A and B are shown apart, each in its own frame.
Chain A
């Protein structure tokens, strides 16, 4: 029997992996932070913004202990996914925890300006992967200029979920956790506004051709289920955006 989807609480999208975002009913631009629990370690992906901090924190604490957060993955440096990092650092330090911020070197020099104090785990200097204590591997897929020069996605080899950062994101007042029939239009709207060109999109997405993806979990918009993954990849590969339109 399917779980009832209650977006007022953390929602488990796969075993041990939770959506912990704030579904702001008045917003057209939603952010999706995720928690990945792996035994003694918790990975927090794209923690979110300062205005969303109270709601996101409440959901995080439903599914993990702050002391367990050992890694924050910041797929790039934008405030909608990073500005709350110092607040989480403070809370984690307050309970005796310690975490690393996993990001690209190019983003790390900017994330510093939020006043972070944790060490950086630079994905580009660590063979594009992070191996957790359990042996579980998170692979980082470099997607330069989508939309930041140091942008990347995270692929969890265990769940086969692709945490795609801004790619596959959407603009939507009609937000739902899982993509509905009109989501392609919401996704096109976002990419036309934020991605630099079709050539650059293809360069990034060609890396997904042979990847077994169970779900795409973007940082904005809605989650794309396995049966729709290839269709959405094709939509983006054929989308003109950025410099294509000049």
Chain B
């Protein structure tokens, strides 16, 4: 069953395509989200607050395109795992 860490992994992977590696690394460094070389989140106890902060930062820096680019993919997995989503992804 998917967890919030999995949802954050989906966001990171998707944003590597939308924002590119440098911009995404900048966001992750600001939020102090540790990742491995493949872009997988190394923090295992992620919660809805972590996902919310990540999305808020993406929205603040890059606007609607960055949010809509991962909203559907994240929403599908969250629904399957019965995970509540932060308001920004609803």
Contact = CB atoms under 8 A, between A and B. Distances in A.
Interface stretch (B29-37, B44-52, B68-76): B68-76
Contacts of B23: 173-174
Given A173-B65, A174-B23, A185 B17 contact: yes
Contacts of A29: 65
A188 B73 contact: yes
A174 B76 contact: no
A245 B20 contact: no
A189 B69 contact: yes
B85 interface: no
Interface residues of A, number: 21
B53 to A, nearest CB: 20
A182 B69 CA distance: 13
Contacts of B16: 182, 185
Contacts, number: 66
Interface string A181-192: 011111111101
Interface residues of B, number: 22
A29 B72 CA distance: 18
B88 interface: no
A155 to B, nearest CB: 26
Interface in B34-90: 62-63, 65-66, 68-70, 72-73, 75-76
B65 A185 contact: no
A103 interface: no
A171 interface: yes
B18 A185 contact: yes
B70 to A, nearest CB: 7
B14 A189 contact: yes
A193 interface: yes
A241 B76 CA distance: 10
Given A173-B23, A240-B76, A245-B75, A188 B63 contact: no
A161 B1 CA distance: 43
A189 B73 CA distance: 8
A189 B71 CA distance: 9
A150 interface: no
Given A28-B66, A171-B65, A174-B23, A186 B18 contact: yes
Interface of B: 13-23, 62-63, 65-66, 68-70, 72-73, 75-76
